[in-house]
Structure formats: structure tokens, C-alpha cells
Amino acid sequence: MAAIGFELLARDARTRARLGRLVTSRGVIETPVFMPVATQAVVKTMLPDEVWQLGARMVLANTYHLYLRPGADAIARAGGLHRFMAWPGAILTDSGGYQVFSLARLCRVSDEGVLFRSHIDGSEHFLTPEKVVALQEALGSDIAMVLDECAPYPCGYEEARRAAERTLVWAERSVRCHRRPDQALFGIVQGGVYRDLRTTHARELVALDFPGYAVGGLSVGEPKELMYEILDVVEPLLPEEKPRYLMGVGSPDCLVEGVARGIDMFDCVLPTRMARHGTVFTRRGPLAVRNAACAEDFRPLDPECDCYVCRRFTRAYVRHLLKAGEISGVRLTTWHNLHFVLSLMREIRASIAAGTFELLRRDFSRHYERGSWSAGGE
């Protein structure tokens, strides 16, 4: 039996949006899906039951961070990552390839692997594609990612080419050493913002016959329109019968546009990170709750939202908690942002099933792209 199964249920007639079912040993995940990020085996400020209550059925954890603390062996002895973090749903583990990019000052990359210094204590470690696969097998995630090299933006053609070629070699090595039958291993398409590199890399990865494919190296500073152009190039090259995953994208407008371009899976720290900085998503654009304009604004965070936070509390109250340094303030903004994104994905799925996705897309963009709330106004 395959570690995962994927079934396409419907396609939108006017875009490339797809409705599907991702089947894992821990349940069925309806796609398109957004995966909240649980980098260190927790969605920041939230309990697992709360994340489940909000509708999440799959979360993302990070191999690099869990390798450093508390260690993959310790998690394996606890019974695996699901039991360790008391999460009943599915888990996808990132390989740590993004940390090669984001912590570049601490890393030295070679064809063999990545030598890096821990951002925690400065200790030196060497990660190879084989070790990264072994770590994820020990963690016991449902979906594991190959080690990849994410080229920065902007970067020259040769730098992007070398990163894509190295990622392909690492993918081949990962396939050869992956042994865990109840875990699916996904490949990652790289190539920067260069269409020919993306095309070549996608075709070479497809030849390796992964059960799913991710598009990496986007949302790293490039304009959104450029990201959409790259998706338009890559998506037609990926097998229709397998899930497509856009890594590190979670802005509501990008979720809608990613779905329109045939993406099935998304993850991003943006909803929880923005929440910790006092900014929430609304149908009319982001709202900075910390701003003085909210000090005596007794409306919900988003008048069009039916989440627990918007039913019970006002902008003024949430702002007060944030300004006072109360952890409850961050919990409330995080709760709202996760509800917003997960509810948006439910609406997207329903619209694809009903054949009205393009209507949802136009309506959402028309309102959201007006920008942030004006001071105190709608």
C-alpha cells in the first residue's frame, strides 16, 4: 500500500484550480489545503486541539529545528512526532533546505551536503541528503521532503543553475536511501526565476517518479507577479494525478492565485508571525491592531468573520492586550488568522465543487486588494 493516495474530484472550468483528496494513514485531507506551521512541534501560542478545532488536518514541522532540539532520536523514543506533540492529524516535515537559505551566514554548502553552525549554541553539524531522510524517517512524518538548495532572490543565472543541479543530485540520493514504506517523499522543483531552469528541473524530477512535487524557491522576495509567472511555467509539467505543493506561501491573495494555478498544498509562517506582531487578516486587507486607530474601535477584528475571537472581542480589547504584553492578545490574533486562512481554503474548495471559483477569485481580489483598513474606517 502506498504511503499516500491522491484523487482528483473536480477541476474548475476557467482556471487550473483542482479539488482533491489526499489520503494518509491518519485521515483524508481535502485539497486545496493550507498547513499551519509547527516548526518546533507546536503552532506558536496554540494547543493541538485548538488547531484541530479550527479545521486543520495537516501541519508542517521542521527537521532542522527538531534535529537540533530536542533531537530526532528523542522524538523517536517518545513514539514519533505525532505522539510527541499530541497531534492526531497528518504531518509534513520540511527538510531544512530553507534554513540553508535563511541562515546562509551559518552554512557552507557543497555537493556532499551542508555544513552549518547551530543558531542555538554554535555547534557544528553536517547534513547530507541521506541524513536528512534518516532524520525524517525517525520523526515518522507522513510526508518528508528531500534536501534542497534554495537560491536567493535576486541571484544570477549560474547561481540558480548550480542550486537546481545540486538539488537534483540530492533528490536522486534521497530516493535511493528512503526506506520507510508509510512515509511519502516529495521532490522539490528549483531554478530561481529562470523559466528554462525551472522547466528542465521539473522534467528531471518528474522522471524520478516522486509521489508528490513541491515548488520551492519562491516567496523569497520576488514580486508576486513573477511568482505567478513561474507557477504558470512549472504547473503544466507536473503530473496531474499527483499533489502539487507551493512551499512557504500563505498570504490570502497568494493562496487564491496559487489555487487558480493548480496548487493543492500550501504552508507558511505568515498567519502566525503577523499575529505575533499585532496584524490580522480581514476581507478588506490586513489590519494593524496595534495602531492607535483601534484604541476605541469596538468592532470585531473583521466584521465579516464568525470566528470565536470576532464573536466575543473588539479591536480595542485585543489592542489593549497586545499593548499590555499579555500573551492572550497574541493567542487571539493567532486564533483569528488561522481561522481566516483555513476558512478561506474551505470556501475555495466549496467554490471549485460548485463551479464558482472564478467568481470567488474576482470577489476576493476586488475587496482584499484595496489594501489595509483606513484609520477607523471600513
| Catalytic site residue from 94, 142, 148, 302 | 94
- Under a CB-based contact definition with an 8 Å cutoff, are residues 340 and 252 in contact? yes
| Overall residue count recorded for the chain in this entry | 378
Closest CA to 119 of 70, 65, 72, 40: 65
| Catalytic site residue from 142, 267, 297, 302 | 267
Beta bridge partners of 115: 108, 126
Closest CA to 328 of 313, 339, 343, 338: 313
Quickly list H helices, the chain.
48-53, 63-68, 72-77, 81-84, 97-102, 129-139, 157-177, 195-206, 224-234, 252-260, 270-276, 308-312, 315-323, 327-354, 357-368
Q: Cell triple for residue 323?
A: 499593548
Rounded distance between C-alpha atoms, residue 231 and residue 222, angstroms: 13
Enter the DSSP assignment of 374: P
Cα 334 versus chain centre, distance? 16
Rounded distance between C-alpha atoms, residue 84 and residue 77, angstroms: 9
Q: List, edge to edge, every strand of the sheet that includes 124-127.
A: 107-109, 114-117, 124-127
Residues 6 or more apart in contact with residue 170 via CB below 8 angstroms: 129, 146, 147, 148, 149
**Three-state DSSP class for residue 64:** helix
94 is catalytic: yes
Between the alpha carbon of residue 305 and those of residues 51, 277, 377, the distances in Å are: 17, 20, 17
209 is catalytic: no
**Three-state DSSP class for residue 215:** strand
Cell numbers 511568482 correspond to 227
What are the catalytic residues?
94, 267
